[in-house]
């Protein structure tokens, strides 16, 4: 089950407002990732048509695909975290309420911050090795450092999103009666299905508060 980032109307807290501003960067990176997928589709069509009709393919096709794969694979990672769309084990979380729920979420985010921080450090080392050694692709010798640089950058955006969520969870732990902001909210299967129906139909129940990213 996927949680959904739910905020009632305009953010009322500092962390909610920061999350809203930061989400603009995440949206841009996600759009770049989507554009990379579209471009890869076009390149794939050109490659297939060229090979089939003209017996002429794109020079270094595999090398270009490898470079673009990094873009669509990782640039949207913070955007996905904002909506709680990464795979999460929520069987226990759906049974928790109040401070117990927010305490577990805080623990999970702290672990995430530590692990992502380690990945940023190691991926930066990989980039520096590629930069200093002049590593290149096998076929047409494309430099690989731009793709490797995207990894710590994307992980850095994820780390900052996790930090915002940490403050958001602490805010809810301090006062569970508040409206969640800057955090994904665990939904029951019934709630998730209802929201998906509302999104498809383009309207929200009169009893539900407006939802924003």
**pLDDT tens for residues 124-157?**
999 999 999 998 988 888 999 999 999 999 999 9
CA pair distance 131, 118, nearest whole angstrom = 20
CA pair distance 45, 33, nearest whole angstrom = 19
* Mean local confidence (pLDDT), 102-110: 94
Q: Can you tell me which residue has the tokens 């407006």? A: 210
Is residue 212 domain-resident? no
Is residue 35 domain-resident? yes
- The pLDDT, as a whole number, for residue 199 is 62
* Mean local confidence (pLDDT), 91-104: 87
* Mean local confidence (pLDDT), 99-112: 94
Is residue 139 domain-resident? yes
Confidence of residue 88 (pLDDT cuts 50, 70, 90): confident
54-86 burial, b at 16+ Cβ within 10 Å, e below that, comes to eeeeeebbebbebbbebbbbbbbbbbbbbebee
Those residues with Cβ within 8 angstroms of residue 115's Cβ, 6 or more apart along the chain or in another chain: none
CA pair distance 171, 144, nearest whole angstrom = 42
pLDDT in tens, 16-71: 999 999 999 999 999 999 999 999 999 999 999 998 888 888 888 889 898 889 99
Is residue 208 domain-resident? no
Is residue 209 domain-resident? no
- Highest mean predicted confidence (pLDDT) among 162-166, 180-184, 199-203: 162-166
Torsion, CA 167, CA 172, CA 175, CA 179, rounded to 10: 120
The H or E element containing residue 4 is strand 4-5
Q: How far is CA 29 from CA 26, 74, 81, in A?
A: 5, 9, 13
Is residue 160 domain-resident? yes
Q: What is the pTM of this model?
A: 0.82
Q: Can you tell me which residue has the tokens 């969870």? A: 169
Is residue 132 domain-resident? yes
Is residue 211 domain-resident? no
Task: Give the residue with greater pLDDT, 50 vs 202.
Answer: 50
Q: What is the mean pLDDT of the chain?
A: 85
Which range of residues forms the domain containing residue 44? 4-201
Q: Can you tell me which residue has the tokens 């999103």? A: 161
Structure letter (DSSP) for residue 97: -
Domain count, the chain: 1
């Amino acid at each position: 089950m996927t949680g959904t980032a739910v905020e009632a109307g305009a953010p009322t807290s500092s962390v909610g407002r920061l999350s809203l501003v930061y989400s603009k960067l995440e949206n841009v990176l996600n759009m770049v990732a989507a554009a990379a997928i579209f471009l890869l589709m076009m390149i794939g069509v050109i490659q297939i048509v060229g090979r089939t009709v003209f017996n002429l393919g794109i020079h270094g096709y595999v090398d270009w695909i490898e470079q673009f794969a990094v873009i669509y694979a990782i640039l949207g990672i913070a955007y996905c975290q904002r909506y709680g769309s990464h795979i999460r084990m929520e069987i226990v979380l759906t049974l928790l309420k109040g401070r117990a729920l927010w305490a577990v979420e805080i623990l999970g985010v702290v672990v995430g911050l530590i692990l992502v921080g380690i990945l940023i450090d190691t991926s930066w080392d990989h980039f520096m090795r590629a930069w200093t050694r002049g590593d290149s692709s096998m076929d047409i010798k494309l430099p690989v450092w731009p793709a490797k640089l995207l990894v710590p950058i994307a992980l850095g955006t994820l780390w900052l999103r996790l930090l915002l969520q940490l403050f958001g969870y602490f805010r809810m732990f301090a006062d569970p009666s508040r409206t969640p902001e800057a955090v994904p909210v665990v939904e029951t299967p019934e709630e998730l299905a209802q929201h998906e129906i509302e999104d498809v139909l383009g309207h929200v129940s009169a009893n539900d508060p407006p939802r924003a990213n």
